[in-house]
Every structure is written in structure tokens, then in C-alpha cells.
């Protein structure tokens, strides 16, 4: 199991504490393009965190880019945590994700 997130994100830290997962800091290490593409196919627009500070600081022209290109350029735009468990993917750390992962 791999958890993609930010080491400074409280939600990511809670998820990591509850799970036995490898942690990848998206700011330092990025997310492999194939994982991002699969997550985009699975979650669609929900993958892009439009409530983030980074998003709010972007001008309207910059926001028009393709979601995967925006996340590649600004990893903090990805909603987190993104949890990959075998062939299953989970986005966020809500009750449904916790129940599905037995946390």
C-alpha cells in the first residue's frame, strides 16, 4: 500500500498513522505519471483540489490547464491523501475510505 500526500498535511499524517503504508511526499518526490493517469480516470475532477491555497493563488488563465499538467507542475493541487492498495485507489481520508481499508 502506498500513500501519496504531504508530510505537513494533518489528514495525511492521520491516514499514515492508521495504515501500514509506504509514504510518498508529493512535493518532494512527485507522483508517477501512470498513477496520476489512473487516478484521473478513476476520480475525474475530484482529483484536483480547488480548495487549496495554491489553486486560490493561481490566475484564471493558469487554472485552464489540463488537470494532470497542473498537478505535475503543482503537486499540492492534488487532493490528498491518494492511497493505492494493489489495484484499488482511494482519495481522501473519510469514513468510507477508513472502513474500506479497515482503519
Catalogue the active-site residues: 9
- Burial of residue 26 (CB within 10 Å: 0-12, 13-18, 19+) is buried
Q: How far apart are the first and last CA of the chain?
A: 13
Look-up of cell digits 499540492: 76
Amino acid at each position: 500500500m502506498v500513500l501519496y500526500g504531504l508530510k505537513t498535511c494533518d489528514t495525511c499524517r492521520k491516514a499514515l498513522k492508521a495504515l501500514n503504508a509506504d509514504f510518498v511526499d508529493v512535493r518532494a518526490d512527485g507522483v508517477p505519471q501512470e498513477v496520476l493517469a489512473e487516478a484521473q480516470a478513476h476520480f475525474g475532477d475530484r482529483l484536483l483540489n480547488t480548495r487549496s491555497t495554491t489553486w486560490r493563488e493561481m490566475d484564471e488563465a493558469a487554472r485552464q490547464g489540463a488537470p494532470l499538467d497542473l498537478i505535475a507542475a503543482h503537486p499540492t493541487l492534488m487532493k490528498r491523501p491518494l492511497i493505492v492498495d494493489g489495484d484499488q485507489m482511494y482519495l481522501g481520508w473519510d469514513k468510507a475510505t477508513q472502513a474500506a481499508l479497515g482503519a
